[in-house]
Amino acid sequence: MTPDEMKKLVAQAALEYTKGHAVLGIGTGSTVNHLIDFLADVKGDIEGAVSSSVMTTERLKKVGIPVLDLNDTGPLEVYIDGADEVNPHFQMLKGGGGALTREKIIGAASRQFICIADESKAVDVLGKFPLPVEVIPMSRSYVARELVKLGGQPVWRENVVTDNGNVILDVHNLTILNPKEMEQTINNIPGVITNGLFAWRPADVVLLGGPNGVRKLEKR
Ligand SMILES: O=C(CO)[C@H](O)[C@H](O)COP(=O)(O)O
């Protein structure tokens, strides 16, 4: 089974969590794209979705699902999104697709965060995948120097402008033994909008797709 087939499998399994909810929060990425394709088949049950990126907005509109403003919907019951890494505490490293800030906002505004990923994303310690940090353009070099002081090697994701008009530094070689502390420390650097650690707001349910099917991990 290819990684993409595993993503498709797990996306289909996530449909269970959309039942009974007229408004959904929808993340960004190739796994979520499969979910949107499945949602197209049940769109009669969906009033609309709050989208975490321009890419997701376009895809939702294409399949005929109305895109709603989080300011109008109020708190959401469920947010479904992928991850670049997820640890045994359901803390995630996200933002490979550059949508981390809106993803973090919708995740925070939702009662349940469902993480969908292929099983290669499950790790013991976060940080092998470079940690994305969204920064205001004028602060890029300053923030990069501060990230070096934390032991990382920031690389500017050149030619990428986020949906919020900012830039991204991908931080390599960080040892993230305490994800909550690292999330807070990086977010305290002036110029940082947010970073891709989802430690303070971990997932509530993790669905992992693998060759033997979907493994469902729920918090006790
Ligand atoms: O955080 C993200 C986008 O900003 C994605 O959820 C993450 O990069 C996983 O993507 P994919 O489903 O394509 O593997």
CATH of the domain at 152: 3.30.70.260
Handedness of CA 73, 27, 12, 17 (dihedral sign): negative
Residues 25 and 114 in one domain: yes
Residue of 47, 58, 103, 134 marked active site: 103
CA distance 53 to 148: 29
Taking the chain (220 residues) in consecutive chunks of 10 residues, what is each chunk's mean pLDDT? 96 97 97 98 96 98 98 98 98 98 98 98 98 98 98 98 98 96 98 98 98 93
Specify the pLDDT at position 143. Answer: 99
Q: Which of 115, 152, 117 is nearest to 133 (CA)?
A: 152
User: Which residues constitute the domain of residue 140?
Assistant: 131-196
How far the first Cα of the chain sits from its last, in Å, is: 30
- 25 appears as a binding residue in the annotation: no
Residue 219 has what pLDDT?
Answer: 83
Look up the CATH number of the domain holding residue 115: 3.40.50.1360
Number of domains in the chain: 2
Residue with tokens 């923030």: 143
ipTM associated with this complex: 0.98
Beta-strand relationship, 110-118 and 76-81: parallel
Q: What angle do CA 139, 142, 143 make, to 5 degrees?
A: 80
pLDDT at 220: 73
Same domain, 139 and 75: no
Query: Does residue 103 have an active-site annotation?
Result: yes
Residue 81: the pLDDT is 98
Q: Which residue owns the Cα nearest ligand 1 atom 2?
A: 95
